[in-house]
Each structure stands twice: as C-alpha cells, then as structure tokens.
Amino acid sequence: MAVELKQPEREQSVSRAHLRRGGETLEALVLLLPGLMLLLVFIVWPTLNAFWLSFHRENLLGTQRDWVGLANYAEMLRETAFWRAVGATFLFAAIVAPVQILLGLIAALMVARPFPGVNLFRTLFFLTTAVPTAVAAVAWGWFLHPIGGVVNRWLQAAGLPPQPWLTSVELALPTLAIVTAWAGVGFTAILLTAGLQQIPEDLYEAARIDGASAWRQFWHITLPLLSPTLFLVALLTMLNSLTAFGQIHLLTRGGPAESTMVWVYRIYQDAFFNFRFSYASAQAVALFLVLLLLAGVQFRWFGRRVHYG
Amino acid sequence: MYAWLLVLPLLTLLSASFRSDADLYAPGLLPPRPTLEAYQEAVQKYPVGRYLLNSLVVSLSVTLGVLLVSASMGYALARVRFAGQSLLFGFVVSLLLIPGEVTFLPLYLMVQQFGWINTYWALTVPFIAAPLGIFLLRQFIKSLPQDLFDAARIDGAGHLRILWHVALPLTAPALGALAALTFLGTWNMYLWPLVVINNAAMQTAQIAIAQVVSVEVTSWNVVAAVSILVLLPTLLAFLLAQRAFVRGITLGGLKG
C-alpha cells in the first residue's frame, strides 16, 4: 500500500539544497497544524478512548465508569449471542464477496474493451456506486415484497410458492447479502475494469493467432493477470461487508429472531438501546482487531507484489 | 440483458413511485395509470427538500474541508522539508487502518460533550481530516516533476504560493477524484447520522428514508417516491462527473 517511497527523490542535489531557505519548518507547521489537530482529536483520541472504555463499566445510571479490566471481554467471549453474531457476520461476508465479485467481473469483462455504445453500458454497470445504501435497501425491499414484489410474482408464474425473503429466519441473511452484493457491483466493476485494462492487448492477439478459444484466453491470460486485482477486490469486499449496517438496519433491524444480528448491529444496539457503551466498545475493539488481522494479510500480499514488481 | 437485470430493482422502484394507492399491487413493470400522487403525498407529509438540503450542506462542507486539509497536508508531506516528515507520513498511513466502527462510540460521547448533537457540526467536523485524502494527494503531488517546484523556488515563491499556483492546478484530476469520492462517501453515511441526529429538521436524506419506511408500512409508493427524490442528486452527480467518480473509486480502492 503506502510504503513505496520513491528513493531517488530523496537525494537532493547540492544546488537544489542550496535553494532551500530557513523557515521551511514554519511553513510546514502552517500547512500541517490544522489537519494534524483534527486527526488527533477525531481519530487518534477516539481510538485510544475505545480501548479505555472497553476496560471500564458504567453504573446503572450511566453517571460513572469503573475500571473492570478485561471483564467486558470475558463476558463477550462467554455470551453465545455474541458468537452467533460473529457467525452471522462471517456467513454474510462469505456470501457477499463471491456474488459481488462474480457479478462485477461479468460486468467488467463486458465493458473493459471499447465497442460502439460502451459508455452507456459502463454507466449502467457502474451505476450502483451512486445509489445510497438506504435507496438500494428500499428498492430491494419492494423488489422482494411479499405481494407487490416482482420476484415473488415470477415465482408464482413459474408455479413456485412465493418466499418470505426478508421475514424468514433462514432466508433473511442470505437475502441481505444479495442486496449488499448488488449495491457493491458498481464498485467491483470499476476496479476490475481498471485491472482488465492494464492487461496488454497484444497478448490476446498472439493467443488468437495461435487459435486459442475465448474460454482458453480467459483462463490462461485474463484470470492469471487479473488475479492481483481480484485478490485486492476480494479483500476490500470482505472488509466492507464485515462492517455492513445500513441495509440491515433498514430492512430487518437484526431480525427475525436475531438471524441478521451482525457484529456492528450488536455494537449499535448494546450502546444505544441497552446503554452499555463500554461493553459495546469491547465488541468494537474486538472487531477492529479482526479487521486489522485481515488488513495484515492484505499488507503482506502487497509487499509481495512490490517485491516482484 | 445483463445490464437490464442489474438495474431492474431500481426500475421497479421507479415504477412504484408513479403508482396510485389503488394500482400499487397491479402487475406489470409499467404503472397502469402513471400519476404523481405519491410524490405529492411525500412532499406534503415529509420535508423532503429539507432532508436533501441537509445532506447537500453536509456533503459539500465535508468535501471542501477534505480538499483543503488533504491538499495542504499532502503538499507539506510531499514537498516541504522538515524534521520527522517520513515519520509523520507513516503516522497518517497507519490511520488508514482505523475503521469508523471503532471510533464512533467514543466520538459520540465526545460530540455529546461538545453539545453538537443535532447540529451540522457533528456531521461535518470529525470527517474533515481524512487520512485517505491526505495520502492520495501526497502521492500525487510527489509524482509531479521536481523541476517545476525548483523553478518556483528560484523565482522566490514561498510554499503557500507554490501550493496555490503550481501544485493545485496540476493536481486538479486528483482533486476532482477525491472530491467525488468524498461527496459520495459523505452522502452515503448511515450509522453516524443515525446516532447523532434525532430531530426531523436536521435529518439527512438517507436516515429520513429509514424513518419514512417505518411510518409508511403499507404505502410503498410514497416510500418509493421519497427514495427516488433522494437518489436523484447522487445519480445526477454521477452522470455528470462519471469520470471523476470512476477515478476516485479506482484510486481509493487501489490504495488498499
């Protein structure tokens, strides 16, 4: 990720160094100070505070917080509802990621190379990035509506029973995952299109001359050369879906029977409905550590790519 | 065909918004008797204009703030020499790893102490210093040819002048991409406005939809009308500046 500092630029020649005058530190301060203050107050301090909170517990009135060490974490790890939420969160991500990547890949493959009218299709495929979460959720709420929804009408036309997509314990979580994947298609399509466009065209030409079929071209050229982008997109999609909240809040509120109670939704509920900020904070810190672990995987992978490059 | 399937949920929503109560459940993709009833009811019952205005004010302010802070910090980290520069840059990069879901509870308590609940302050100020923006602009400014900056230095220009007259004009594409990314991201915020705003007049458009959904349990045509009205501004922005959006998402995504 960030660490590819360009070495040559660091060596300033003597004449260049000569041009520099004193007072640069002052100018730097003017440019940096406002932003730095904001970063410290609104990111660093709250992060430290999240840890601090997680080691405390508020009394019943919420007026005072006492140090309790790791008690919040111990309670969290003992609570079966927490583990169910963790399971739901990962199941959710495990459905979102492949579906979203597949849908995005199909779209990207269609529009990566120019053809007449390509811009119209790019716009249509990338469109979901411009759809706010709440609008996406409402659109699907109606799309899957028990009576008015198109999907159930199709099922009936095909002689199948209509399904309670968002109100059944078994279906609600996978349905929400599909909604989330749909909302993310534009994002994946954009990144994968960029990745596809970096593959040199002459590779395909050479393959065509050798008589390779479209399928073989995809399997032996596109997929291997796209794999770094695919891997990156997979991780980003995972990280995003592990923190999904808006569509769940709007469509199911964690129900039915807590079947869509994911990690972030639990944090929200414990803090703002059960008024247990410190307990919620412990769960937020735990989520942070899991995300950090995944980001670490990503970081290592980037290190490898820079190495090969 | 595939494109049609992808936009179908939005089309059915659009169709529902043009249906009267009586036609709501009538079959067919097109409304049998198109009407603006649902829109009329929506704007009469809900201050939709105010919701959109709130979202617009918040998104534009955050975008402007992010551009200012990212440009000045990005420039300083790329082009001004001072002690601890690389350390500071490393610090900014490490902040990229902190998700909002971790900071939002302590941030809520802080904002509450500031008395910012139900104000624009709560929705804007905490997001003006964005590590991603600083990082992107630093990388971009670093990639500009050094000679340009040397020439300006020889002419006796200070860093603030160079930033304004040399760096910023050349950074326009990156600024546009960052602006698009930030605007969309702010408009799309859900969890944060949900917890810091609890009066109708200050509600952002997204959260307002959630409110309308819980009130209009059966009037899906009204829900659809409100949603379409909320969708229009971002959709319009996307259509007008698709290039900047695509660039912003590519840059923002590929940074990791």
Give the per-residue SS3 of A116-164: CCHHHHHHHHHHHHHCCHHHHHHHHHHHCCCCCCHHHHHHHHCCCCCCC
H helix or E strand, kind and range, residue A65: strand A65-67
A25 and A148 fall within a common domain: no
Answer yes or no: are the C-beta atoms of B8 and B191 closer than 8 Å: no
Q: Is A248 helix (H, G, I), strand (E, B) or coil?
A: helix
Q: Does residue A8 have a pLDDT over 90?
A: no
pLDDT at B175: 94
8 Å CB contact of B98 and A288: yes
Shared domain check, A147 and A44? no
Residue in chain A nearest B8 by alpha carbon: A143
Grade residue A61 by pLDDT with cuts at 50, 70 and 90.
low
Token representation of residue B222: 């009204």
Q: Is residue A286 part of a domain?
A: yes
What pLDDT band is residue A300 in, cutting at 50, 70 and 90? confident
Confidence check: pLDDT of A7 > 50? no
User: Would you call A67 helix, strand, or coil by DSSP?
Assistant: strand
pLDDT class of A309 with cuts at 50, 70, 90: very low
Contact across the interface for A148 and B110, Cβ inside 8 Å: no
DSSP A9: G
- Domain residue limits at A118: 78-308
Q: Are residues A122 and A270 in the same domain?
A: yes
Q: Which amino acid, residue B216?
A: E
Q: How many Å is the maximal CA-CA distance in chain A?
A: 83
Contacts of B8 in chain A (CB under 8 A): 143, 150
Query: If contacts are CB pairs under 8 Å, which of residues 35-64 in chain B contact chain A?
Result: none
- In total, how many domains does chain A have? 2
In chain A, pLDDT over 90 holds for what percent of residues? 45
Q: Which among A67, A90, A110 is the end of a domain? A: A67
Of the residues A53, A103, A129, A272, the best mutation for testing chain B's interface (the one with the most B CB atoms within 10 Å of its CB) is A129
What confidence score (pLDDT) does residue A10 get?
Answer: 43
pLDDT for B27-75, tens place per residue?
Answer: 777 888 888 888 988 888 899 999 999 999 999 999 999 999 999 999 9
Task: Report if residue A95 sits inside a domain.
Answer: yes
Q: How far is A211 from chain B (nearest CA, A)?
A: 28
Q: Are B55 and B226 in contact (CB under 8 A)?
A: no
Average pLDDT rounded to a whole number, residues B188-211:
92
Beta bridge partners of A57: A66
User: What average pLDDT does the segment A147-169 reach?
Assistant: 84
Residue of chain B with shortest Cα separation from A193: B250
* Residue whose token pair is 């990720």: A1
Please give the single-letter amino acid code of residue A13.
Answer: S
Q: Which of A194, A271, A284 sits opposite B102 (nearest CB)?
A: A284
- SS3 state of residue A8: helix
Same domain, A55 and A128: no
Domain assignment of residue A253, yes or no: yes
**Per the structure block, which two tokens stand in for A274?**
């059960």
pLDDT at A90 over 70: yes
Does residue A270 register a pLDDT over 80? yes
At residue A302 the predicted structure's pLDDT band, cuts being 50, 70 and 90, is low
pLDDT at A94 over 50: yes
Token readout for A254 is 């964690």
pLDDT on residue A280 = 95
Assess whether A37 and A92 both reside in one domain: no
pLDDT mean over A198-210: 88
- Token readout for B232 is 């229009």
pLDDT at A306: 38
Contact A126 B93 (CB under 8 A): no
- Beta carbons of B155 and B146 less than 8 angstroms apart: no
User: How many interface pairs between A and B have CB atoms less than 8 angstroms apart?
Assistant: 278
Q: Is residue A7 part of a domain?
A: no
Q: pLDDT band for position A152 (50/70/90)?
A: confident
Mean pLDDT of B225-242: 91
**Residues of chain B neighbouring A142 (CB-CB closer than 8 A):** 9, 12-13, 16, 220, 223-224
The answer as to whether A6 is a domain residue is: no
Q: Which of A4, A10, A32 to mutate to test the interface with B (most CBs of B within 10 A)?
A: A32
User: Is the domain of A109 the same as that of A250?
Assistant: yes
Examine the predicted complex and report whether its ipTM is higher than 0.95: no
Listed in sequence order, the DSSP H helices in chain A are 14-19, 24-39, 45-54, 71-78, 80-111, 118-126, 133-143, 150-157, 172-197, 201-209, 214-217, 223-242, 246-251, 263-272, 277-308
Confidence of residue B92 (pLDDT cuts 50, 70, 90): very high
DSSP H/E element including A58: strand A56-58
Are A84 and A148 members of one domain? yes
Average pLDDT over residues B147-151: 86
Residue A212 amino acid letter: A
**Residue A287 vs residue A162, higher pLDDT:** A287
Residues 6+ apart with CB under 8 A from A100: A180, A181, A182, A184, A185, A188, A237, A241
Residue A93, both tokens: 């991500």
In a domain, A49, yes or no: yes
Q: Tell me, what DSSP letter sits at residue A43?
A: I
Residue A17 has pLDDT above 50, yes or no: no
Residues A245 and A266 in one domain: yes
Summarize the confidence of residues A201-207 as an average pLDDT.
Answer: 88
A132·B163 Cβ contact <8 A:
no
pLDDT tens per residue across span A229-245: 888 888 889 888 999 99
- Residues A52 and A113 placed together within one structural domain of the fold: no
Mean predicted lDDT score pLDDT of chain A:
85
| Type of residue numbered A123 | T
Which residues in chain A have their CB less than 8 angstroms from residue B13's CB?
135, 138-139, 142-143
3-state secondary structure chain B: CHHHHHHHHHHHHHHHHCCCCCCCCCCCCCCCCCCCHHHHHHHHHCCHHHHHHHHHHHHHHHHHHHHHHHHHHHHHHHHCCCCCHHHHHHHHHHHCCCCHHHHHHHHHHHHHHCCCCCCHHHHHHHHCCCHHHHHHHHHHHHCCCHHHHHHHHHCCCCHHHHHHHHHHHHCHHHHHHHHHHHHHHHHCCCHHHHHHCCCHHHCCHHHHHHHHHHHCCCCHHHHHHHHHHHHHHHHHHHHHCHHHHHHHHHHHHHCC
| Mean of pLDDT values over B236-240 | 89
Domains of chain B: 54-254 (1.10.3720.10)
pLDDT of residue A299: 65
Quote the Cα angle for B137-B143-B147, to 5°.
120
Mean pLDDT within B113-130 = 95
Between CA A85 and CA A148 the distance in angstroms is 31
Report if residue A137 sits inside a domain. Answer: yes
Q: Is residue A254 part of a domain?
A: yes
Tokens of A221: 């050229």
Its pTM stands at: 0.88
Mark which residues 188-227 of B lie under 8 Å from A by CB.
Answer: 188, 190-191, 194-195, 205-207, 209-210, 213, 220, 223-224, 227
Q: Are residues A125 and A60 part of one domain?
A: no
Regarding whether A182 and A230 lie in a shared domain, the answer is yes
* Other beta carbons less than 10 A from residue A43's beta carbon: 22
Nearest CA distance, A210 vs chain B (angstrom): 31
How close A205 comes to chain B (CA, Å)?
A: 27
Cβ neighbours for A154, distance < 8 A, ≥ 6 positions apart? none
B101, A262 Cβ separation under 8 angstroms: no
